[in-house]
Copies of this chain bind each other. A is one copy, B any other.
Amino acid sequence: MIQVDHALSIIAENISKMPVKKIKVGKSLGFILAEAIYSPIDMPPFRQSAMDGYAFVHSELSTFSVVSSSQAGDYSNLKLGLNEAIRIFTGAYVPDDANTVVMQEHTTATKDSIHIDKLPVPFSNVRNKGEQIEKGKLVLDKNTIITPAAIGFFACLGISEIKVYSKPKIAILVTGNELVKVGKKLPKGKIYESNSVMLEAALKEVGIKKTTIFRVKDNLKATSKMVESCLAHFDVILISGGISVGDYDFVKEALLQNGVEELFYKINQKPGKPLFFGKKEEKLVFALPGNPASSLTCFYVYALPALKKRLGFTDIHLPKMNRKITTNFQNNTGKTLFLKGFYDDDCVTVLESQSSAMLNTFAVANCFIYVPHTVVDIQENHEVQIIPFN
In this complex, what residue of B is CB-closest to A29?
B201
A332 within 8 A of B: no
A176-193 Cβ-contact flags toward B at 8 Å (1 or 0) = 111100110011111111
**Among residues 356 to 390 in chain A, which have CB atoms less than 8 Å away from a CB atom of chain B?**
357-360, 362-365, 389-390
Judging by beta carbons under 8 Å apart, are B202 and A148 in contact? yes
Judging by beta carbons under 8 Å apart, are B73 and A179 in contact? yes
Chain A, interface SS category: loop
Chain B residues whose CB sits within 8 angstroms of the CB of A188 once the complex forms = 45-46, 75, 93
In this complex, what residue of B is CB-closest to A361?
B149
Copies in the complex: 2
Judging by beta carbons under 8 Å apart, are B362 and A41 in contact? no
A155 within 8 A of B: yes
A305 within 8 A of B: no
Q: Which of B75, B158, B192 contacts A192 (CB 8 A)?
A: B158
Judging by beta carbons under 8 Å apart, are A152 and B46 in contact? no
Chain B residues whose CB sits within 8 angstroms of the CB of A244 once the complex forms = 52, 90
Chain B residues whose CB sits within 8 angstroms of the CB of A156 once the complex forms = 191-192, 194, 292, 359
A251 within 8 A of B: no
A residues at B contact (CB < 8 Å): 25-26, 29, 41, 43-46, 48, 50, 52, 71-75, 89-93, 127, 132-133, 139-140, 144, 147-160, 176-179, 182-183, 186-195, 197-202, 204-205, 218, 244-248, 290, 292-293, 296, 353, 355, 357-360, 362-365, 389-390
Chain B residues whose CB sits within 8 angstroms of the CB of A151 once the complex forms = 194, 197-198, 201
Complex: how many Å from CA A182 to CA B195? 43
Judging by beta carbons under 8 Å apart, are A148 and B199 in contact? yes
